Chain A
Amino acid sequence: MSAKGWRELPPGAVILDAGNARELRTGTWRTTSRPVWEEENCSQCLLCWLYCPDMAVIVKDGKMVGIDYDYCKGCGICALECPGKKGRKAITMEEERK
Chain B
Amino acid sequence: MARVAAVTGNEAVAEALRQINPDVCAAYPITPQTELMQRFAAFVSNGKVDTELILVESEHSAMSACIGAAAAGGRVATATCGPGLALMWEMLYVASGMRLPIVMAVVNRSLSAPLNIHGDHSDAMGARDSGWIQLWSENAQEAYDNTIQAFRIAENMNIRLPAMVCMDGFIISHSIGRIEYLEDEPVRSFVGEYQPLNPLLDLDNPKSYGPLILTDQYHEYKRAQHEVMTRVKDVVLAVAAEFEKVSGRRYGLFESYRLDDAEIGLVILNSAAGTAKDVVDSFRERGIRAGLLKPRLFRPFPYEEVAQALKGLKAVAVLDRADSFGGYGPVFMEVCSALYPLAERPVVINKIYGLGGRDFLPQHAEEVLAELEEIARTGKVRVAKEYIGVRE
A residues near B, CB below 8 A?
3-7, 9-16, 18-19
Closest to A9 in B: B224
In the complex, chain B residues whose CB is within 8 Å of the CB of A11: 99, 160, 197-198, 224, 228
> Which residue from B205, B209, B223 sits with its C-beta under 8 Å from A12?
B209
In the complex, chain A residues whose CB is within 8 Å of the CB of B97: 12-13
> Which residue from A5, A6, A16, A19 sits with its C-beta under 8 Å from B198?
A16
Least distance between B52 CB and chain A CB atoms (Å) = 22
A sample of 28 inter-chain contacts (CB < 8 A) reads A3-B217, A3-B220, A6-B220, A6-B221, A7-B224, A9-B221, A9-B224, A10-B198, A11-B198, A11-B224, A12-B97, A12-B98, A12-B100, A12-B160, A12-B198, A12-B209, A13-B98, A13-B210, A13-B213, A13-B221, A15-B208, A15-B211, A16-B198, A16-B207, A18-B206, A18-B207, A18-B208, A19-B206
In the complex, chain B residues whose CB is within 8 Å of the CB of A15: 207-209, 211
Grouping DSSP codes into helix (H, G, I), strand (E, B) and loop, the B interface class, with mixed when no group exceeds half, is loop
> Which residue from B198, B223, B224, B227 sits with its C-beta under 8 Å from A14?
B198
B residues near A, CB below 8 A?
97-100, 160, 197-198, 205-211, 213, 216-217, 220-221, 223-224, 227-228
Closest to B209 in A: A14
> Which residue from B98, B209, B211, B223 sits with its C-beta under 8 Å from A6?
B223
Q: Give the most central of A6, A16, A18: most B CB within 10 Å.
A: A6
B209 near A9: Cβ-Cβ < 8 Å: no
B220 near A4: Cβ-Cβ < 8 Å: yes
Report the Cα distance A13→B227, complex, angstroms: 15
Report the Cα distance A49→B223, complex, angstroms: 42
In the complex, chain B residues whose CB is within 8 Å of the CB of A13: 97-98, 209-211, 213, 221
Report the Cα distance A14→B208, complex, angstroms: 6
Report the Cα distance A5→B219, complex, angstroms: 10
Least distance between B70 CB and chain A CB atoms (Å) = 10
Report the Cα distance A63→B223, complex, angstroms: 49
Least distance between A31 CB and chain B CB atoms (Å) = 20
Grouping DSSP codes into helix (H, G, I), strand (E, B) and loop, the A interface class, with mixed when no group exceeds half, is loop
In the complex, chain B residues whose CB is within 8 Å of the CB of A14: 98, 198, 207-209
Report the Cα distance A12→B97, complex, angstroms: 5
Report the Cα distance A13→B211, complex, angstroms: 7
In the complex, chain A residues whose CB is within 8 Å of the CB of B198: 10-12, 14, 16
In the complex, chain B residues whose CB is within 8 Å of the CB of A3: 216-217, 220
Report the Cα distance A4→B216, complex, angstroms: 9
In the complex, chain B residues whose CB is within 8 Å of the CB of A5: 220
A-B pairs, top 4 by smallest CB distance, nearest first, are A12-B99, A18-B206, A15-B208, A6-B220
Report the Cα distance A19→B206, complex, angstroms: 9
Report the Cα distance A16→B211, complex, angstroms: 11
Report the Cα distance A15→B208, complex, angstroms: 5
Report the Cα distance A4→B160, complex, angstroms: 21
Least distance between A32 CB and chain B CB atoms (Å) = 24
Q: Give the most central of A4, A12, A18, A19: most B CB within 10 Å.
A: A12
Report the Cα distance A5→B220, complex, angstroms: 6
Least distance between A29 CB and chain B CB atoms (Å) = 15
Q: Give the most central of B198, B208, B227, B228: most A CB within 10 Å.
A: B208
> Which residue from A9, A12, A16, A18 sits with its C-beta under 8 Å from B220?
A9
Closest to A5 in B: B220
Closest to A20 in B: B208
In the complex, chain A residues whose CB is within 8 Å of the CB of B205: 16, 18
Least distance between A19 CB and chain B CB atoms (Å) = 8
In the complex, chain A residues whose CB is within 8 Å of the CB of B207: 14-16, 18
Closest to B227 in A: A6
Least distance between A7 CB and chain B CB atoms (Å) = 7
Report the Cα distance A55→B160, complex, angstroms: 36
Least distance between A74 CB and chain B CB atoms (Å) = 22
Least distance between A14 CB and chain B CB atoms (Å) = 5
In the complex, chain B residues whose CB is within 8 Å of the CB of A19: 206
Least distance between B230 CB and chain A CB atoms (Å) = 13
In the complex, chain B residues whose CB is within 8 Å of the CB of A12: 97-100, 160, 198, 209
Closest to B216 in A: A3
A4 near B217: Cβ-Cβ < 8 Å: yes
Least distance between A94 CB and chain B CB atoms (Å) = 32
Least distance between B154 CB and chain A CB atoms (Å) = 13
Report the Cα distance A18→B198, complex, angstroms: 12
In the complex, chain A residues whose CB is within 8 Å of the CB of B98: 12-14
Closest to A21 in B: B208
In the complex, chain A residues whose CB is within 8 Å of the CB of B211: 13, 15
